[in-house]
Structure 1
């Protein structure tokens, strides 16, 4: 799949485009790409590929849960499988964090297809219920001893279909390298924008029931992480108000090695997201910002760091505030128009953070072989900030979607955010 494993041969024209964004050749009115069954299958590709399935949940009692399985291939080495689970209670500040290498991973498990996976420690089992109010679901199970056991059903409402940006087999992909037929690497994301969750946890031998809502993302990076991007932002807002609201957004900033005019013409900012209102997927947004170019797109899909402060713990300029925006055409057939959303979240400064779950040293958490392949690159010092805070989203759109939307509605909820810095790129630090 790659023209070379560690580096590509230089293009004939060194100023030729060497990055092709997911929004390229996708019109503003055609951003929604329905998921096909194959989109949700485990690829388990070789080369240098990191594949994740991640379930983010905001429980009705306020707890934040992440359930994640990672398949990492590093060249000719045998793939590493890692399971991560984090449960954070903002009321008490207590956090449970489990990160283990799993054994005997298999996909598909006997009697199932490759949308399911199983190991000795955890499993992700896909279920199809066509024609029902929840036509698809995943059963999540993990047994990590008396400390933590997980048993949850994550269901997708029929009114909130899964999506990728752009239709067809290449929908959702951004490609790296000058030759689209032989890319140096790629990034792809597929989403369930709203899930309903129920089940139970067993923590230190005590069973607890759990209900909530969330989202699911299946992501693949077909390239060394430090070559894909200098930074990532991910936002996940949930509310029970207005019939059920979910707002998700993912943004990455390429290194300056990839851009419209070859090496040195980046960094390029790629952002995709969606809004669910009244339990309906109402818009999908996507926007690419190229350095030095004016964007004529009518779509707004944007994550902004405000009042950045140097964090001596990481060496990065962390935001004190976050501004997240969506605006795109309505996907609801009987409610044409534009749907917009905006969230502002105060995450505090270094000494007095607000809603900070953890400042994650990524090299301390990832498998050894992946760490070795990433850390040798000069300047690579990846850290992730995780926050969750009560906040509100301001929504506008056609009145037919939800009462009051035409005048604008403020919806109270909670937003979980990950801001990941991978390398000290001046353009990102100054953003």
Structure 2
């Protein structure tokens, strides 16, 4: 009972948590051991949860055009802090992964007004996200920000998917009354059509080097050290105000119109994920890894988080592999490796390369076959090899992180009301590193294929332990 009270209080106030151990986290992977993890999503799975306690809920529509290299995402964020302050935000990113990132790297973040939820649909002034009655197509339309007016339709090419009947990881000693919860549902491969009308900075004349060659406007090192962003004036940048000269400079920035259209003739692919985090982010996880990859023939996505030591540094990892029109398998046994890492100016050990390995269970394997293998006595090498061939699907996605789209200081982005709750946590230093690069996929023993990947590496808490001394509740 005492631990339940401690957990409940910390989930509301943000104070330090005791070291509960692995018995106090119930991962989605543990609940499907010995079973087929794949389940197809229903319409109800796509409903916004919107409980009356602290949580953040997101619907994120990623898009990738393999021919042009244009990729990015449109995202709705709905948050509730301590049950007394609810707000919503529309964030948008578009980036060209095949040219210097000075040419197209647009970010907008806009506070939504008069927002409301209706099942799987979301509405606000000048914004709507609607799921059709066939549960096959989302239509997203937004004119909340003049820099990023979008009208996009996302149509499933494969079934939606989730892990098990309830795709949630629970925190606490009682799943029926958890202290916190993480949940994810996916549409792993979709087609995108529609248009984006953008306002982007006018391209400046590029300087000539001594040899006459083009001089890059933004080297990798410069990108890593770029200044903090200022959110749009109708958003909330946490109360941080730019200096007057910065404000004047931004006002004088010359913009030009850019129209981008996605048509059936040039296939644009998408991954959609609906995520729910029902507890303080620094209690739920100390780090996140995320990657989605599209090629002409396959899509792969992986989302994982690692809990703080208070929950035994537990890794919860969900990977999905698809063909053009089918979910091939779900993997809960993944290895997301950071390679050739070095400490940057912020202090995080940031990778320069990624290698992601998935060991998926094929979607068509029944529960009985999986359960029999788990409960069977030690099998012979031949039996194990046959079982693995019949039931498993292995994939490796690898690539170099050449293009840092942005390093995001999360504390500079979140609203001031939320920021006040976690700003006193000395051990918390959340940064998100976003990359867009060409990666390779090797599926089973097939030849490697090239595609485009979006990767995010997120660091939240320093070290393995956040002690009581790390928190300043004054």
Q: If the length of structure 2 is used for normalisation, what is the TM-score?
A: 0.74
Partner of 2:406: 358
Partner of 2:155: 155
Report the CA distance between 1:180 and its aligned residue: 1.9
Alignment of 1:262-341 (within 5 A): 266-286=312-332, 300-312=333-345, 314-332=346-364, 336-341=390-395
For this pair of structures, how many residues does the alignment match? 373
CA distance in 1, matches of 2:75, 2:82: 23
2:23 and 2:173 in contact (8 A); partners too: yes
2:399 and 2:437 in contact (8 A); partners too: yes
Partner of 1:126: 131
Task: Determine if the alignment matches structure 1 residue 245 to structure 2 residue 298.
Answer: yes
- Higher gyration radius (CA): 2
Structure with the larger strand share: 1
CA distance in 1, matches of 2:125, 2:109: 14
Structure with the larger helix share: 2
**Structure 1: gaps (5+ residues):** 109-113, 130-134, 259-265, 287-299, 348-353, 397-406
Pair 146,222 (structure 1): closer, same or farther in 2 beyond 3 Å: closer
Partner of 1:222: 278
CA distance in 1, matches of 2:20, 2:91: 41
CA distance in 1, matches of 2:87, 2:144: 18
Task: Determine if the alignment matches structure 1 residue 386 to structure 2 residue 392.
Answer: no
Alignment of 1:30-41 (within 5 A): 30-41=36-47
**Structure 2: gaps (5+ residues):** 200-256, 367-388, 467-474
Report the CA distance between 1:10 and its aligned residue: 12
2:36 and 2:363 in contact (8 A); partners too: no
Q: Which one of the candidate residues 114, 117, 121 is aligned to 1:107? A: 117
CA distance in 2, matches of 1:191, 1:257: 28
Partner of 2:31: 25
Task: Determine if the alignment matches structure 1 residue 70 to structure 2 residue 77.
Answer: yes
Per-residue displacement from partner, 1:314-345 (whole Å, max 9, x unpaired)?
Answer: 21111121110112222247995421110111
Q: Which one of the candidate residues 47, 56, 73 is aligned to 1:50? A: 56
CA distance in 2, matches of 1:10, 1:365: 23
Residue aligned with 2:411, SS = helix
Pair 375,410 (structure 1): closer, same or farther in 2 beyond 3 Å: same
Question: Which fold has the larger relative contact order, with Cα–Cα distance below 8 Å and residues 6 or more apart in sequence?
Answer: 2
Report the CA distance between 1:209 and its aligned residue: 0.9
Report the CA distance between 1:208 and its aligned residue: 2.5
